[in-house]
Chain A
Amino acid sequence: MEVYLDYQSAKPVDPRVIEEMTPYFYYKFGNPSSLHKIGDDATDILDKCRKTIANFINAKKEEIIFTSGATESNNLAIIGYALRNKAKGNHILISEIEHISIHNIAKYLSKIGFNISKIPVDPYGSVNLKKIKERITDKTILISIGYANNEIGTIQQISEIGRLCKEYDIAFHSDAVAAEGLIPIDVEKDNIDLLTLSSNDIYGPKGLGILYIRKGIRVNPLIIGGGQERGLRSGSENIPGIVGMAKAVEIMKVEMNEEVKRLKVYRDRLIDNILGNIPKSHLNGHPTSRLSNNAHFRFEGIEGEALLLSLKDKGISVSTGSACTSKTLEPSHTLIALGLLHEEAHGSLELTSGRFTKKEDIDLVLEVLPQVVERLRKLSPLYK
């Protein structure tokens, strides 16, 4: 039996979501742009789904733009906003621990004349408000800070950052992919102007996401075509995907509280046992302000890929921030921003549980991990 503790990377689609989507591939295949009955039916369902999803984050349905996923939403939010508002200024703030898509978007924008500042984080991965404030200039037009970190699970003080942006009249974008389904999100309460969500991260189908754009906030489209999604994202709507995401939201609304409670028990058991039973092990991320599904460790003297392979042999799927598993051979920028040395970042292990995780899965990890760590330490010249 495979044990999957890598929900951060990908989630299975809830079977109830698949069932809801199925008719929309053959029987209800219409295009909302068509004027006949089948087209009208598609318009109706698109409208209904948009309302459901808007309601999930306390937004209005006109403020939801469907995209192909979180990466596209981040592109539309940041590049779209920057290009539309460059007359106001060319300065954008992001944090050092944003998702790689945002780091690379920032890199692109800096090549075409925008100024990007990166806000450092404390040892637990929290963005300090003072550090945001001191970097704001009269050219600052946008601040993008993730709701919670996808790797180490640290939750940011989003309401406070939102208030700060409002005070300075700067647009606020938040990538909420890691947080959705684990924390209730309210764009009004948190003063968020642009918000990224992905469908798969709440057990909906892959290839679909949304960007919430507050009424009055203007962005340039990046995909030009037939003018769908108020002209901000052309291309025929992915109706089966949208139906799936709306169903995923409906399930989440009912089950989130219970699910989060269950995940917290798993997380705390992992953290308490691993820190208690494996010498020279450390928790990465915030001790309390962290996502209920995230347990992130580092073990002195061993390397993450070797750890991952050893667990793979025992039928356990996990993630690591080690360079040896990345395309660039650089260790995770998030772990480095915490103040870790390369060799420390290499020894990290990320365990993220989810809707289909069972108590026995956690038991197996707790049984196997100490032996695996001990074996690799015996091979290591760095562990004494």
Chain B
Amino acid sequence: MKSTRYSEKVLDHFRNPRNVGTLKGEDVGTGRVGNPVCGDLMELYIKVKNNKIKDVKFRTFGCGSAIATASMVTELAKGKSIDEAIKITRKDVADELDGLPPIKMHCSNLAADALKDAIKNYKDKQKLKVEVEEEIREHKEEITGEKKFLNRGVYNIIEDFSLFKDKRTLVLGRGDKSIEIAIELTKHTPRVVFVTPLKDISANTNLKTKLKQSDVKILYESKILEIKGFNEVEKVLIYDLNEDEKYELYIDSVVLLL
């Protein structure tokens, strides 16, 4: 079966998704699930009153079935108690949509997981259990290949920005200085990737805004495990801390500023 042969119901929810948007407030639980390999990302919001789900909203980056399953789960959850809603399974969602292509059952059927995640988040909030952001130690770890490619694509210091002209460049660092360098590099090359192990950028608000408006591509919660190449840098192995996944990124230079 082709991966895009969808039922009429799936197509209807794809074309006219129900409950698109976001919600805010003390009584709102947020779920966020994603599968970076398949490329789907889903955010789901539930508003709860007297243990009942009063409102649900979602946003999805993903394929047709990712959008349709999110839309369907919001319809299934609305009005249910949170104890009932948490029992909604992936299969329930797929069944309500008159089935999904087999290949999509796993990868693009995350909506039930997002709902469970949102309910959990709501319950945690009520317990006033403030989740303390796990402190990620930023001590200097040596990266495999760092020494081998030093000055052959790996740089600890930038003396001449023009050397980076049109080079796909990855910047690893922390603090304002490394962010300024990443932004400066965008004047010389269209491709600058900034890697940080943190969930958000730690810098003064001004600089943070400047970074987000720039062409710098930011990889949050990520580490470089290895620098690879032949005579010079050709790619890096990135570790996504959040998803516990490794992937390769093709790159020409790596600027290490730790």
Contact code string B160-174 (vs A, CB < 8 Å = 1, else 0) = 000000101000000
A329-B38 in contact (CB<8A): yes
Q: Is A325's beta carbon under 8 Å from chain B?
A: yes
B230-A131 in contact (CB<8A): yes
**What is the CA–CA distance of A378 and B59 in the complex, to the nearest angstrom?**
8
User: Of the 9-residue stretches B120-128, B129-137, B247-255, which lies at the interface with chain A?
Assistant: B247-255
Chain A residue contacts of B250, Cβ below 8 A: 96, 120, 336-339
* Residue in B14, B41, B217, B230 whose CB lies within 8 Å of A135: B230
B41-A381 in contact (CB<8A): yes
Chain B residue contacts of A337, Cβ below 8 A: 250
Q: Is B79's beta carbon under 8 Å from chain A?
A: no
Contact code string B1-20 (vs A, CB < 8 Å = 1, else 0) = 00110100001001101001
A323-B235 in contact (CB<8A): no
Q: Is B92's beta carbon under 8 Å from chain A?
A: no
Chain A residue contacts of B42, Cβ below 8 A: 381
With A329-B103, A329-B107, A341-B249 in contact, is A309–B39 under 8 Å at CB?
no
User: Of the 9-residue stretches A56-64, A145-153, A264-272, A300-308, which lies at the interface with chain B?
Assistant: A300-308
Q: Is A290's beta carbon under 8 Å from chain B?
A: no
Chain B residue contacts of A330, Cβ below 8 A: 37
Q: Is A209's beta carbon under 8 Å from chain B?
A: no
A123-B37 in contact (CB<8A): no
Which residue on chain A has the smallest CB distance to residue B235? A120
* Residue in B20, B43, B63, B231 whose CB lies within 8 Å of A306: B63
| Most chain B beta-carbon contacts within 10 A, residue among A123, A327, A331, A338 | A123
* Residue in A301, A304, A342 whose CB lies within 8 Å of B36: A342
Q: Is A313's beta carbon under 8 Å from chain B?
A: yes
A309-B4 in contact (CB<8A): yes
Q: Is A380's beta carbon under 8 Å from chain B?
A: yes
Chain B residue contacts of A284, Cβ below 8 A: none
A379-B38 in contact (CB<8A): no
Chain A residue contacts of B104, Cβ below 8 A: 324
**What is the CA–CA distance of A362 and B161 in the complex, to the nearest angstrom?**
41
Chain B nearest CB from A366 CB (Å) reads 22
B249-A323 in contact (CB<8A): no
Chain B residue contacts of A331, Cβ below 8 A: 39
Q: Is A134's beta carbon under 8 Å from chain B?
A: yes
Within B217-258, the residues touching A (CB, 8 Å) are: 217, 219, 230-231, 234-235, 247-251
Q: Is A14's beta carbon under 8 Å from chain B?
A: no
* Residue in B59, B168, B193 whose CB lies within 8 Å of A123: B168
With A120-B250, A379-B20 in contact, is A303–B231 under 8 Å at CB?
no
| Most chain B beta-carbon contacts within 10 A, residue among A301, A308, A346 | A346
Chain A residue contacts of B4, Cβ below 8 A: 305, 308-309, 325
Q: Is A250's beta carbon under 8 Å from chain B?
A: no
Count, A-B residue pairs, CB within 8 A:
110
**What is the CA–CA distance of A335 and B238 in the complex, to the nearest angstrom?**
17
Q: Is B187's beta carbon under 8 Å from chain A?
A: no
Chain B residue contacts of A361, Cβ below 8 A: none
Interface size class of B (residues with CB under 8 A): 35 or more
A side interface size, CB within 8 A: 39
Q: Is B97's beta carbon under 8 Å from chain A?
A: no
**What is the CA–CA distance of A119 and B63 in the complex, to the nearest angstrom?**
31
Q: Is B64's beta carbon under 8 Å from chain A?
A: yes
A324-B63 in contact (CB<8A): yes
**What is the CA–CA distance of A135 and B67 in the complex, to the nearest angstrom?**
45
| Most chain A beta-carbon contacts within 10 A, residue among B6, B11, B39, B104 | B39
**What is the CA–CA distance of A303 and B62 in the complex, to the nearest angstrom?**
5
* Residue in A120, A325, A338, A342 whose CB lies within 8 Å of B37: A342
Q: Is A353's beta carbon under 8 Å from chain B?
A: no
Chain B residue contacts of A1, Cβ below 8 A: none
**What is the CA–CA distance of A95 and B219 in the complex, to the nearest angstrom?**
27
Which residue on chain A has the smallest CB distance to residue B103? A329
Q: Is B90's beta carbon under 8 Å from chain A?
A: no
Chain A residue contacts of B63, Cβ below 8 A: 303-306, 309, 322, 324-325
Chain A residue contacts of B93, Cβ below 8 A: none
Chain A nearest CB from B200 CB (Å) reads 14
Chain A residue contacts of B61, Cβ below 8 A: 301-303, 343, 379-383
Within A289-315, the residues touching B (CB, 8 Å) are: 301-306, 308-309, 313
Please report A residues at the B interface, Cβ cutoff 8 Å.
96, 120, 123, 131, 134-135, 301-306, 308-309, 313, 322-327, 329-331, 336-339, 341-343, 345-346, 378-383
Please report B residues at the A interface, Cβ cutoff 8 Å.
3-4, 6, 11, 14-15, 17, 20, 32, 36-43, 59-64, 66-67, 103-104, 107-108, 166, 168, 190-191, 193, 217, 219, 230-231, 234-235, 247-251
Known: A134-B231, A303-B61, A339-B251. 13 other contacts (CB 8 A): A123-B190, A135-B230, A303-B66, A306-B64, A306-B66, A309-B14, A309-B64, A322-B39, A327-B3, A327-B103, A339-B168, A343-B36, A379-B60
Q: List 18 A-B contacts (CB under 8 A).
A: A134-B230, A303-B63, A304-B63, A305-B4, A306-B67, A322-B39, A324-B39, A324-B104, A327-B103, A329-B38, A339-B249, A342-B36, A342-B247, A343-B36, A379-B59, A379-B61, A380-B59, A381-B61
